[in-house]
Homo-oligomer: A and B are copies of this chain.
Amino acid sequence: MMQQTTYTFSSASSTIYTDADIACLPEWVSGKPIIVTDEQVFAAQQHKLAAWPCIVLPAGEQHKTAATVDHLINQLVAMQADRSTTLVGVGGGVITDITGYAASIYMRGIPVGFVPTTILAMVDAAIGGKNGVDLGLYKNLVGTIRQPGFIACDLSLLQSLPREQWINGFAEIIKHACIRDADMFAVLEQHTPDDFRNNHDLLLQLINRNIALKCSIVQQDEFEKGDRKLLNFGHTIGHAIENTYGLLHGHAISIGMAAACRIAEEMNNFYSTAKDRVIALLQRYELPVSLSFDKKQVGDMVLMDKKRTGDIIHFILPETIGHAVIRPIGTDQFRDLLTQIF
């Protein structure tokens, strides 16, 4: 049974449908929809998308670039898209990021909505309005913050998801639990990825809980002046290694979260037992918790992170399970810590 909730942020509102059916798309869109998707999703869902005009992009993070956005915009011109068009991104986080960004700059902004096809996009990437593309190794260096008009989660679209992508989504769920929801952390400890894969209601409940958690943070701080920064837990180191080592986003931030826990422990800010519980939970969900990497190069990458201001990195550290804080760390101190924990 489809559920519908409208979240009002400071700039605009998003209506989120869960347990939705993509066949209901015409009800969610005002005006003429154009679907933006990737080759993999299109191949798997062609029968469900056939009713609408589609722009099909190459799949993968390596295509999340300004060149792909230029290509997409040229297609929109060729299709005479205008401000009465709604772009609908159907795909994972790469597609929702590209589509949201293109919609925010084409004709200085046209309506946009998302139908996420991965767990990661349903609980995180599609929500909150952050969009953008990478520049070389730098993640999301270019983009905007602009809310989609709607987000519709159709769980049947997850059926064709490879196991690796399924697992990938749990990294952001565990992140949410670590920073804001100790009860959900305990629920996750009692289950396995397969429990959620095999139980529609359990999965739906988990997705709803994560959407509500993220929306509540974005409602308080849409433009990331304060608490929204907490959602970057695991992302400072995660982003620095993601494109450098060609990791899946969930894998990269899992390693980043494990590293942040070790840094917190090192700074006498987080009990070893709590750190061990986070690492054990990541492993329970088959996520990696360490990586041998070039510390000089990763240190340099972090210097270009959006969370840096001058010589200070605003680093997210756990204090207890379910509660994280923003700590300013000098870039030199950060390089030292990186050497100590790995």
Q: A interface vs B, CB < 8 Å? A: 11, 66, 70, 73-74, 77, 80, 82-84, 104-109, 130, 132, 135, 138, 140-145, 303-304, 306, 308-310
> In the complex, are the beta carbons of B144 and A109 less than 8 A apart?
yes
Residues of chain B lying within 8 A (CB to CB) of residue A104: 144
> In the complex, are the beta carbons of A77 and B135 less than 8 A apart?
yes
Extra A-B contacts (7), CB below 8 Å, given A66-B70, A84-B310, A105-B143: A73-B135, A84-B309, A105-B105, A108-B132, A108-B140, A109-B144, A144-B144
Bound: A297/B270 CA distance, A? 68
Residue among A107, A135, A145, A306 facing the most chain B CB atoms (10 A cut-off): A107
A-B contact list, 18 entries, CB within 8 Å: A66-B66, A73-B135, A73-B141, A74-B135, A77-B138, A80-B303, A82-B308, A82-B309, A83-B309, A105-B105, A105-B142, A107-B306, A108-B130, A108-B143, A108-B144, A108-B145, A109-B145, A144-B144
Chain B residue nearest to A74 (CB atoms) is: B135
Interface of A is mostly: mixed
Chain B residue nearest to A312 (CB atoms) is: B84
Bound: A304/B104 CA distance, A? 17
Bound: A104/B144 CA distance, A? 7
Bound: A142/B74 CA distance, A? 11
The number of times this chain is found in the oligomer is 2
Bound: A132/B107 CA distance, A? 9
Query: What distance in Å separates the Cβ of A53 from its nearest Cβ neighbour in chain B?
Result: 15
Chain B residue nearest to A76 (CB atoms) is: B141
Query: What distance in Å separates the Cβ of A115 from its nearest Cβ neighbour in chain B?
Result: 23
Bound: A130/B109 CA distance, A? 11
Residues of chain B lying within 8 A (CB to CB) of residue A140: 108
3 closest A-B pairs by beta carbon, nearest first, are A107-B306, A84-B309, A105-B142
> In the complex, are the beta carbons of A306 and B66 less than 8 A apart?
no
Query: What distance in Å separates the Cβ of A11 from its nearest Cβ neighbour in chain B?
Result: 8
Chain B residue nearest to A146 (CB atoms) is: B144
Bound: A308/B263 CA distance, A? 55
Bound: A164/B135 CA distance, A? 39
> In the complex, are the beta carbons of B109 and A310 less than 8 A apart?
no
Query: What distance in Å separates the Cβ of A122 from its nearest Cβ neighbour in chain B?
Result: 22
Chain B residue nearest to A105 (CB atoms) is: B142
